[in-house]
Structure 1
């Protein structure tokens, strides 16, 4: 009786507020989970003003561009999955594009090799940014509040500043002390008098605020035309980049049909190409669905072996077939995501031995390691899942001091050497070779899982090449093992990407005996400190409650609800 009373009072309390229990936040009316508490709060403030999930996503994204500069951005690009209450899911593709002057061999020297990592560490590596266009398109089609209202919280954060967190403070010290840091980054966390911003001291970004004010006043044109575009083009010309005024003026985000799959009675909505996330995850879920998982305990040798082999097959097909759909018109997406094809792949899994990854047959490209994700739901049940990035942490490390933001280095996501694929992971297949105005293939995987037409799980992660697999396993944890979102995010993750033929596993979360048994089966096992940095929201239909969690590996991440 006493426990029932406690449960009753807990539900009453949740009805009027949000609470945090065991790293999960519970709320009734809406929620934002992101890599920074201030950005999550900015999104929730928009929800409280009557904005919908799209509005909150726009505000959160712009706020992250101020508070989470390693990945939050207006100088990069990404993807949005949107599931409105009418069930008609859609996606916004705002992936960066190759400039008009780009070519398949643009990074090669006279010996046919890429010198000094110029496809990652130079102005040539900067793709035409897509973030502002993507957010503007989403708002134009599905938003509710005025555009300027949504950008205003980010402007205020940039003008007034915010206390430098311990994580950002430590990053700023590392950047200043590193010989490899660009001059722009070394000055990034400095005050006007040239001294570094200290821990908990207010960090102000007046140049970024001016750029955001132009975007607030002029929408997409505030970035892709006028003063900002002219300054970007001038920077490129001075620093060896090839993005032009024409590149910026021509850039448009694209609305695309989502990849829709099913798994154990749930609907799965995720990104289509040029993201490889939706196709690859759907294929892997279809393979797992063929198994009798009631006889395979979570984290057991049999379970990990099955998941590795599903990943191997999913990533091999990713490598061979996927790229920008505007340049690859015959990608066999229906076959790759079909249950019939998954059955064939499942049937050739040896239950006792690891398969072999053959670089002469398949290949795949890579994403950068520092991306960011946020999940949003509003009081009507509209759900948004957004993953966007600069590619590597702090992108190219390059920026114009008068604009205040960092440029991506996404051109490194293209296959750099045509026709050359090696066992260490260098890829040369045709679908992801560089071409003017082409979008580079991505691993970003913003996902919404629905049950009976309502969002059940909104989730995504940074992590470059690991993104698809960490989201995939979090979906498995929620559906197959009934894990609450916080537990599902923190549970053991593994990663295999076909090439190189290595399985990474989270240290101290997989038993030594299991690792030994997997190695005896032929798997090359390698420990990792962590995989992914997931942000998720889960819906309890029975009690009409949202629960949200930010991965414990995110020092400034937060789930905020009301």
Structure 2
């Protein structure tokens, strides 16, 4: 449904609530850099293409999630998606607009032409047309039957994946797949007025950014709609400005200072004082940023409440379109 935002080549994070025990925890199943990566690998090189491919973690993360919380057999989980792959998916306006935006890139890459160009029209799929994903369906059939080892433990899909990536200039290896590990962590917990508590995901995700936004905005509500939206936009700019200083704390310990600041109500109060109802700023440094970001749409989210009161929120991504 959202092939530009998520998929087996990406990764995800999940926040899980178990009503019976009251426990809330997070699973970090994001992609990680291949072992051969270094800080100079993109100097004078494109940041797109096979070299930018990280270790895919989506399927292994789901396996770990299922091992701890799953009720249905593993293979049953894949049946609805496999059916959609072969019977077809109606293209939404959102997906059609994204395909149009990246038309030139799609046309340059034969593997994307095979997926996103309608063979009946030789044009990009349009809203309302039916798109088929038979190769993905066949891949998911194998994973459903054989488990994640077919990718991560020297199996045939993993071997083919590594071969394809390396032939296009990437550096992911079979050892990278074998050595990949998820992380189970506590949530970031932030209390607000009226008895509300936010449970969100820790670094390297942007859960702390959400907490920072809510901390700033909590006392700034107004019924004046234009002023409210101005304050919210300015808050987002401050939050995403500081986000440029964050990273994976397990590999970049120095980001802990920014991380702790963004969870500190007094730091939020200082940022709130910089938000004025009659002005905005074009200087990204005003908002605490050390660089600007290109617009990024490469993420999907789903939240599910189970009949027994359990809940899960999953954010899945291929990092960028």
Do both share a fold (TM > 0.5)? yes
Structure 2 partner of 1:404: none
Structure 1 partner of 2:263: 337
Q: By percentage of residues, which structure has more helix?
A: 2
Q: Which runs of 4+ in 1 moved over 4 A?
A: 166-177, 189-204, 348-353, 364-367
How many angstroms does 1:242 deviate by? 0.8
CA distance in 2, matches of 1:212, 1:219: 10
Structure 2 partner of 1:363: 290
CA distance in 2, matches of 1:91, 1:219: 23
CA distance in 2, matches of 1:334, 1:228: 41
**Counterpart among 70, 83, 87 of residue 161 in structure 1:** 87
Structure 1 partner of 2:196: 266
How many angstroms does 1:231 deviate by? 0.3
- Is the contact made by 1:72 and 1:389 (CA closer than 8 Å) also made in structure 2? yes
How many angstroms does 1:175 deviate by? 9.1
Structure 2 partner of 1:214: 142
Structure 1 partner of 2:133: 205
Structure 2 partner of 1:284: 213
Structure 1 residues 171 and 313, CA, compared in 2 at 3 Å: closer, same or farther? closer
SS, match of residue 188 in structure 1: helix
**Counterpart among 9, 13, 16 of residue 79 in structure 1:** 13
How many angstroms does 1:352 deviate by? 4.8
Runs (5+) with no aligned partner, structure 2: none
SS, match of residue 387 in structure 1: strand
How many angstroms does 1:194 deviate by? 11
How many aligned positions are there?
312
Which of these two proteins has the greater Rg computed from alpha carbons? 1
Structure 1 residues 217 and 298, CA, compared in 2 at 3 Å: closer, same or farther? farther
How many angstroms does 1:274 deviate by? 0.4
CA distance in 2, matches of 1:166, 1:348: 40
* RMSD of Structure 2 on Structure 1 (CA): 3.3
Q: How does 1:452-531 map to 2 (within 5 A)?
A: none
CA distance in 1, matches of 2:244, 2:40: 19
How many angstroms does 1:87 deviate by? 3.0
Structure 2 partner of 1:373: 301
How many angstroms does 1:229 deviate by? 0.8
Runs (5+) with no aligned partner, structure 1: 1-66, 394-562
SS, match of residue 225 in structure 2: coil
Structure 1 residues 297 and 279, CA, compared in 2 at 3 Å: closer, same or farther? same
CA distance in 2, matches of 1:206, 1:249: 27
Structure 2 partner of 1:245: 174
Deviations 1:147-202 (A, max 9, x none): 111122222333x4225446499579859974753111112257999988988776
Structure 2 partner of 1:382: 310
**Counterpart among 286, 297, 308 of residue 223 in structure 2:** 297
How many angstroms does 1:263 deviate by? 2.5
- Is the contact made by 1:290 and 1:346 (CA closer than 8 Å) also made in structure 2? no
Structure 1 residues 165 and 341, CA, compared in 2 at 3 Å: closer, same or farther? closer
CA distance in 2, matches of 1:290, 1:172: 37
How many angstroms does 1:370 deviate by? 3.1
CA distance in 2, matches of 1:365, 1:252: 31
Structure 2 partner of 1:14: none
- Is the contact made by 1:175 and 1:186 (CA closer than 8 Å) also made in structure 2? no
**Counterpart among 297, 301, 316 of residue 241 in structure 2:** 316
Q: How does 1:125-204 map to 2 (within 5 A)?
A: 125-158=52-85, 160-162=86-88, 164-165=90-91, 167=93, 170=96, 174=100, 178=104, 181=107, 182-189=109-116, 203-204=131-132
